[in-house]
Each structure stands twice: as C-alpha cells, then as structure tokens.
C-alpha cells in the first residue's frame, strides 16, 4: 500500500478513509514538531476521489494544525493535473496549451533556419509531451485536439499544406508520430 508520495518538498498523502488521512496528518504534525519544520496549511488541500456510481458530497473536516483544509476538485502535482474523477482531460489540455506555446516559439524564432534544423528543434521542443505516459482516462476529443496540434506544428515549420498526410510527413522527415511518442513514453515508464 502506498500512502505517501513525496518529491523534494511536495507531498501527497493517500488514505482509504477520512480516519486514515487524519492519522497520516497527525504523524506529519508529530514529525514536523520533532524536526523543526512546518507544513503550509494554505497550500494543503483535500481531494476525494469520486467513484462514478456514488458521489460523495459531504466529507468530515480534516485539520492540519487545527485548521480545516480546503477541499478541491483538482490539483497539480509535479506538473500533472489530478482530478477527483481521475480524468486526464485537464492534463491533456495543459499539455496542448504548452505545446502550442513551444511550437509557435520555434516557428517564430527559427523561421529562416534550414529544414534539418527545424526538424531537430521540433524533436527537442515538441516531442516531450510531459506526463503523457500517465494518461489512461480521457475523452477522444481531448486527445484528438492534442494530436491535431502535434501534427500541425511540423507542417507549419516545414511550410507544408495544412491537409498534407501527417504519416507521410513524419516518415519523410524521420519524426515519430503522435501515437509513437505516447507508446514510447508508456513503455519507458513501465520499464
């Protein structure tokens, strides 16, 4: 059972019940007193994962240092959006916006570069798709919007028509397609 996920100063506590989370917070408070640290109550929140068949409307108060923690429907942990219904759509939208910014930056700053340089820049700046290996619960609409943007950026960089074949463009340019990127990232995290 995993009940604590921590990276640097970011921590997530996981519990199957309010009682379990209260116990974990009590242990954290004891640790803080013993080691001279203090958790930031203003940055601490509660998220209740919601099963599809039974929504939880009311949750008993959970306190940190005697102060009730705010309940949220989603939060960002290490750059990845986590939602109460475990939907990846908000995180895919975050990545779509970030990809649009990176793609436009590359197109604007390096418009006069050679084709090879543009392909290298696309691979460096536009293929990261941060946390895509975690996406398992999303709508087709959300993933399609990201895929269309991913396909359009090299068209824009290389001056190709908007409706040219994406698979042909990727094959000729030796660039991994959208699904290949996701498969590689997923295989990498599973390894």
The 10s digit of each residue's pLDDT in 23-76 is: 999 999 999 999 999 999 999 999 999 877 888 888 899 999 999 999 999 999
Q: How far is CA 126 from CA 102, 142, 154, in A?
A: 7, 18, 9
Tell me how far apart the alpha carbons of residues 184 and 41 are, in angstroms, rounded to a whole number. Answer: 39
- The alpha carbon dihedral of 17, 41, 57, 14 has a sign of negative
Judge contact between 119 and 69, C-beta under 8 A.
Answer: no
Judge contact between 121 and 106, C-beta under 8 A.
Answer: yes
The DSSP-derived string for the chain is ---EEEETTEEEE--SSHHHHHHHHHHHHHHHHHHT----GGG-EE--PPPSS---------EETTEEPEE-SEEEETTEEEETT---HHHHHHHHHHHHHHHHHHHHHTTTS-HHHHHHHHHHHHS--TTGGG--S--HHHHHHHHHHHHHHHHHHHT--TTS-HHHHHHHHT---HHHHHHHHHHHHH-
The 10s digit of each residue's pLDDT in 94-123 is: 999 999 999 999 999 999 999 999 999 999
Enumerate the domain spans of the chain: 4-83, 89-190
Task: Flag whether the pTM goes above 0.75.
Answer: yes
Tell me how far apart the alpha carbons of residues 24 and 16 are, in angstroms, rounded to a whole number. Answer: 11
Judge contact between 97 and 91, C-beta under 8 A.
Answer: no
Output the pLDDT for position 55. Answer: 81
Q: Give which of 110, 130, 129, 132 is closest to 120, Cα–Cα.
A: 110
Tell me how far apart the alpha carbons of residues 113 and 12 are, in angstroms, rounded to a whole number. Answer: 45
Output the pLDDT for position 21. Answer: 96
Q: At what angle do helices 140-158 and 166-173 cross, to 10 degrees?
A: 50
Evaluate if residue 127 carries a pLDDT over 90.
yes
Output the pLDDT for position 24. Answer: 96
């Amino acid at each position: 059972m995993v009940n604590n996920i921590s990276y640097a100063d970011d921590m997530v506590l996981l519990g199957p019940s309010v009682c379990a989370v209260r116990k974990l917070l009590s242990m954290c408070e004891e640790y803080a007193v013993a080691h001279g640290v203090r958790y930031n109550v203003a940055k601490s929140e509660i998220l209740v994962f919601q099963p599809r068949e039974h929504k939880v409307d009311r949750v008993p108060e959970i306190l940190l240092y005697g102060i009730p923690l705010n309940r949220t429907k989603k939060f960002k942990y290490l750059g990845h959006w986590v939602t109460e219904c475990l939907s990846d759509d908000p995180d895919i939208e975050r990545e779509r916006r970030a990809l649009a910014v990176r793609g436009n930056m590359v197109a604007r700053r390096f418009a006069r570069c050679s084709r090879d340089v543009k392909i290298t820049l696309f691979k460096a700046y536009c293929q990261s798709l941060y946390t895509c290996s975690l996406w398992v619960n999303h709508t087709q609409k959300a993933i399609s919007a990201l895929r269309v943007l991913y396909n359009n950026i090299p068209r824009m960089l290389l001056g190709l028509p908007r409706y040219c074949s994406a698979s042909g463009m990727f094959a000729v340019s030796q660039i991994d397609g959208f699904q290949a990127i996701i498969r590689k990232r997923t295989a990498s995290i599973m390894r």
